Structure 1
Amino acid sequence: MKEPDAARESVWDYPRPPAVEAASGRVVEIWFADTLIASTRSALRVLETSHPPVFYLPAADVAVELLTQSPAASVCEWKGLACYWDLDVAGRHVPRAAWSYPDPLPGYGQLRSTFAFYPGLVDRCTVDGERVRPQAGDFYGGWITSEITGPFKGRPGTSRW
């Protein structure tokens, strides 16, 4: 495994179970179909070993009128039951583009009334203007920026890490 330089965060230094932290006032934006879906300086980051951070945005800073709850759901052993949200903008539809934890388990209450988006399912996600690269795979929703180094879970063959 390549050693990260001091200016970058290694996902292998992140904890398990995951930690929730403020995104330090950085501007986090999500764009889809030439529409700004969300913009905030109040995002949270969930940090978990081997995963790029997942950014959670307060519902107050998301165009929630563009989201429709999906019948899909999943369970995280730490965060609880996740609900998925479809995105509809300008005639474009993306199933399960976002998820939320309406009633998170103890220790993750900060995630209540927030939404996380899959960066690979929208047109653009940025953190302080830097375009995010999506975590590989179709289940994890990590946001890869220049401050993060891996290797990252999500590629084929990484499911048992």
Structure 2
Amino acid sequence: MTIRPAHPGARSIRTTPEGLMWEPSERWVRGRKGDVTVVDSRRPVLVWEPHLPVPQYVFPDADVRTDLLRPAKNPPTGTHTGSRTFYDLDADGEVRANAAFRFPADDLAGHLAFEWFPRTDTGLDHWYEEDEEIFIHPRDPHKRVDALPSSRHVRVEIDGRLVADTHAPVLLFETSLPTRYYIPREDVRLDFFDATDHSTGCPYKGTAEYWSWRGEGDVPPNIVWSYPDPLPAVAAVQGRLAFFNEVVDITLDGERLERPATPFSRMLRTR
């Protein structure tokens, strides 16, 4: 089965009875396990599962090294929307369990999905869109990230203590997330924080390093982060520090902002 837009240039998200949303993509996507190219597709399909805010790719069987796939010995349950068909990947001298699977939707018949980062124990090692490596999950074509230098006045407090004060922030606007305020390092009291070994990856921004509050109070760990080497699209945030609005008090141009409720609100408390 080949999925194509209704007409050249058309981009409409479609929905399956199972609650999956999907959209054809024109990007050239490749996935590698070690030195072996397992996926090489110029006709991938982006799929959104109902319980996940980010998309993933599925690929026509003809664009996948299906000769490297074996029916899974111990298929999982409940990991993907209705999926019961899983495959182990035998490539580059290693077997990775449940690396690939199928969605039980007629619209996506004849297509295979793969586990993505950070699950390197099951998925592939490297993914590329065109010639650029991508991480964590595919970039959502309906999501935008803008990093804009500003002269707005930003103050950050933790448990009543002022920890940052600047008139030179970079405001990062990201679809479906609160505005993040990236503050020059010299305007942050880093002596109130300890560097940690925690790190995260973002397909839009790069790899972040973190700091935790060393003071008292009900403050979760790793509430400050920075991108030492961000992706070119958000180069303006390089080396600056940002705080989770969800757990600190931010005052913008003299107005105290409400703490937003986001998926990070719970995640921060369960780390």
TM-score (norm 2): 0.42
Cα 1:77–1:94 change in 2 (3 A) is same
- Higher relative contact order by CA 8 Å / sep ≥ 6: 1 or 2? 1
**What letter corresponds to residue 221 of structure 2 in structure 1?**
P
Distance 2:174 2:163 in 1: 26
> For 1:39 and 1:92, how far apart are their aligned partners in 2?
22
Q: Which amino acid aligns with 1:38?
A: A
Task: Give, in whole Å, the separation in 2 of the partners of 1:63 and 1:138.
Answer: 27
Gaps of 5+ in 1: 1-14, 141-155, 157-161
Q: Distance in 2 between matches of 1:55 and 1:93?
A: 19
- Alignment size in residue pairs: 125
1:19 to 131, 146, 155: 146
Point out where structure 2 has 5 or more consecutive residues left out of the alignment: 1-141, 267-271
Match of 1:59 in 2: 185
Paired letter, 2:203:
E
Supply the AA of the counterpart residue of 1:115. L
1:127 alignment partner, one of 243, 252, 264: 252
Residue 53 to residue 91, structure 1, CA distance change in 2 (3 Å): closer
Partner of 1:49: 175
Based on CA coordinates, which of the two structures has the bigger radius of gyration?
2
Q: Is the 8 A contact 1:32 1:89 kept in 2?
A: no
- Whether 1:84 and 2:210 are equivalent positions in the alignment is yes
Secondary structure in 2 aligned to 1:114?
Answer: coil
* RMSD of aligned Cα (Å): 2.3
Confirm or deny: 8 A CA contact 1:118 1:134 kept in the other structure.
Answer: no
Residue 32 of structure 1 pairs with residue 158 of structure 2: yes
Q: How far did residue 29 of structure 1 move?
A: 0.3
Contact 1:81 1:103 (8 Å CA) reproduced: yes
* Dislocated runs of 4+, deviation >4 Å: 90-93
Question: TM-score, normalized by length of structure 1?
Answer: 0.69
**What is the alpha-carbon distance in structure 2 between the residues aligned to residue 135 and residue 93 of structure 1?**
16
For the residues of structure 2 that align with 1:136 and 1:65, how far apart are their CA atoms?
Answer: 28
Deviations 1:112-159 (A, max 9, x none): 12111012322x21101111122313427xxxxxxxxxxxxxxx9xxx
Alignment of 1:95-110 (within 5 A): 95-110=221-236
Identity of aligned residues (%): 31
Per the alignment, do residues 133 and 63 of structure 1 end up closer, same or farther by CA in structure 2, a change over 3 Å counting?
A: same
CA contact (8 A) 1:88 1:94 kept: no
Correspondence for 2:64: none
What amino acid sits opposite 1:132 in the alignment? L
